[in-house]
């Protein structure tokens, strides 16, 4: 199963790549102009390019093996059936991620952990709900922002589809996402608490 957060992140990463390419293209143009005596304008452009690149500096993300190790062999009675991890990035901007699938009978659970390095833009791509206050309820379920053990979190449950979701931001840089079928919200909360991330 493709990790949901990476699905959201790929378009974001492509946009960043286009921005950098555009800046570099401009830098090349200004260099030609510099030959014609426009040295000052080139220096200003280079400063702007450096500024843009520095804003993408995420710092060092944790090794994805650390994130993989945080995903146990079983969660709330469901056994792990797949276990993967990777590092994705462009230039000095990276994310590290790990994911696992868990199953038991007709119950299934997908867990993903993504380290954004604390970059605000990446956090918005991974957890757009983080800056919102959401509280909706209907006869078929609910959706709300909340806190779990002091961390920002988001919950959603649809009764008719037996589908639940819990997302949490850990240490202002790591997004933990759980998506489940036929698993109670109580068990989803227990599961997210069982994920021990050590950074």
How confident is the model over 54-75, as pLDDT tens digits? Answer: 444 445 788 999 999 999 999 9
Collect all residues with Cβ–Cβ distance below 8 Å to 81 and sequence separation of at least 6.
101, 102, 103
What pLDDT does 60 receive? 77
What pLDDT does 31 receive? 52
Query: In this model, does residue 20 exceed pLDDT 70?
Result: no
| Rounded alpha-carbon distances, angstroms, from residue 162 to 3, 144, 179, 183 | 20, 17, 11, 7
The overall average pLDDT reported for the chain is: 77
What pLDDT does 186 receive? 95
Query: In this model, does residue 49 exceed pLDDT 50?
Result: no
Q: Are 76 and 190 in contact (CB under 8 A)?
A: yes
Tokens of 188: 């989803």
User: Which one of 3.40.1000, 1.10.10, 1.10.3470, 2.60.120 gives the CATH number of domain 59-194?
Assistant: 3.40.1000
What pLDDT does 1 receive? 37
| Cβ atoms within 10 Å of 100's Cβ, excluding its own | 24
Q: Please, how many CA atoms are within 13 Å of residue 16, restricted to the half-sphere of its CB?
A: 22
Q: Are 12 and 122 in contact (CB under 8 A)?
A: yes
Burial 29-63 (b: 16+ CB within 10 A, else e): ebeeebeeeeeeebeebbeebeeebeebebeebbe
């Amino acid at each position: 199963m493709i990790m949901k957060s990476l699905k959201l992140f790929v378009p974001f990463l492509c946009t960043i790549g286009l921005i950098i390419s555009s800046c570099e293209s401009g830098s090349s143009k200004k260099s030609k102009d510099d030959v014609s005596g426009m040295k000052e304008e080139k220096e200003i452009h280079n400063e702007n390019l450096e500024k843009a690149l520095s804003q993408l500096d995420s710092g060092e993300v944790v090794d994805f093996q650390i994130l993989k190790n945080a995903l146990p062999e079983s969660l709330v009675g469901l056994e792990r059936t797949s276990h993967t991890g990777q590092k994705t990035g462009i230039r000095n901007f990276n994310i590290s991620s790990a994911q696992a699938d868990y199953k038991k009978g007709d119950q299934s659970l997908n867990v993903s952990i993504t380290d954004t390095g604390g970059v605000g833009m990446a956090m918005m791509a991974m957890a757009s709900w983080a800056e919102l206050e959401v509280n909706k309820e209907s006869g078929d379920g609910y959706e709300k922002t909340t806190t779990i053990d002091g961390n920002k979190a988001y919950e959603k449950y649809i009764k008719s589809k037996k589908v639940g979701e819990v997302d949490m931001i850990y240490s202002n840089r790591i997004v933990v996402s759980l998506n489940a079928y036929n698993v109670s919200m109580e068990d989803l909360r227990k599961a997210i608490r069982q994920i021990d991330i050590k950074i």
